[in-house]
Amino acid sequence: MIRVRNLVKTYKDLIAVNDISFDVEEAEIFAFLGPNGAGKTTTIKMLTTLLKPTSGEVELDGLNPAVHHNEARKRFGIVFQDPSLDEELTAYENMDFHGVLYKVPRKVRLERIEQLLKLFELWDRRNDPVKQFSGGMRRRLEIARGLLHTPKIIFLDEPTLGLDPQTRNQLWTHVKKLNEEERVTVFLTTHYMEEAERVAHRIAIIDHGKIVAQGTPQQLKEQTNSETLEQAFLALTGSAIRDESVGSIDQMRNVAKMFRGPRK
């Protein structure tokens, strides 16, 4: 379903993604793990047409996203690491906006919005503006939105960041269920190793822009003689702490936080 060969992304003085290759099968849950700044988000951006690769090949469901962007875009849904909802619009309007952009026919759109909002337990709050939603509700809404156009692949970039254990647990239950019932291919990144171990069929570990290991959770543990995936992860990537440089968008986000005051 996803085929990546020799993918490279370089910035002026930095190699963000350095010659990686991997395959994800149909209906597989594939976890992409790595420390901060390892190249996870850059890879997702290249897979989802937001960023042009410096070199290398990508295929999504047999299509090259760099050439057939719009065809490729119909095949996947994505939940970004950062929020991407319009806070002034209601949950329903956010869904509807997405459905219209993806040309989901009106009748199907209305049915599917209702079905997904009910599944993610947001139907009762559908007419409330998103700015009144908690972090967990926003996340659920984003996943529901990503699935609205029945994509074959869904990308989840750290979907559980900042959520409480209950919400995380529920979220993965939904994802597993969708994967089993609708045979959606799932490509996810997370920092919580126990989550990856629980849901992923296969895992790739990326560090400094290179894939350092690939396999089932069991294989990775055996390969490193570790008892848990977390130990395996540390064995493969070392225990040095990484500092990500703060981009201008993050700086601006801090300014915005200052102006908008504390969140309720």
Partner 1 sequence: MSAIYILWLRQLKRYVRSKPRIIASLGQPLLFLFGLGFGFGPIFQKAGQGNYIQFLAPGVIAMTVMFSSVFSGIELIWDRQFGFLKETLVAPVPRILIMIGRTVGGATVAMIQGLIVVLICFLAGFRMSNYERLPMAILFMVLVAVMFTAFGTALASVLSDFQGFQLVMNFLIMPIFFLSGALFPLTNLPTAMVIITGADPLSYGVDGLRGSLIGLSHFGMSLDVMVLTVIAAVLLSVGSYLFSKIQL
User: Least Å distance between CB 193 and partner 1?
Assistant: 26
Nearest to 32 by CA among 188, 242, 233: 188
How far apart CA 161 and CA 88 sit, in angstroms, is 23
Burial grade of 8 (CB within 10 A; 0-12, 13-18, 19 or more): middle
User: Least Å distance between CB 198 and partner 1?
Assistant: 28
Count of alpha carbons within 13 angstroms of residue 247, beta-carbon side: 2
Q: At what angle do helices 165-182 and 135-147 cross, to 10 degrees?
A: 10
| Token reading at 54 | 């410096």
| Token reading at 8 | 């490279």
Angle formed at CA 191 by CA 78 and CA 31, multiple of 5 degrees: 55
User: Least Å distance between CB 126 and partner 1?
Assistant: 15
Interacting residue ranges for partner 1, rule: CB under 8 A: 45, 48-52, 69-71, 73-74, 78, 80, 82-89, 93, 96-98, 100-103, 129, 248-249, 251-253, 255-256
* Strand ranges, E, within the chain: 2-11, 14-24, 29-33, 55-60, 76-79, 153-157, 185-189, 202-207, 210-215
| Cβ proximity to partner 1, 12 vs 103, nearer residue | 103
User: Least Å distance between CB 229 and partner 1?
Assistant: 30
Cα 56 from chain centre: 21
| Cβ proximity to partner 1, 71 vs 114, nearer residue | 71
| Cβ proximity to partner 1, 83 vs 215, nearer residue | 83
User: Least Å distance between CB 50 and partner 1?
Assistant: 5
| Cβ proximity to partner 1, 35 vs 77, nearer residue | 77
| Cβ proximity to partner 1, 52 vs 242, nearer residue | 52
| Cβ proximity to partner 1, 239 vs 248, nearer residue | 248
Alpha helices, H only, 148-227: 165-182, 193-199, 217-224
Count of alpha carbons within 13 angstroms of residue 246, beta-carbon side: 5
User: Least Å distance between CB 195 and partner 1?
Assistant: 23
User: Least Å distance between CB 93 and partner 1?
Assistant: 7
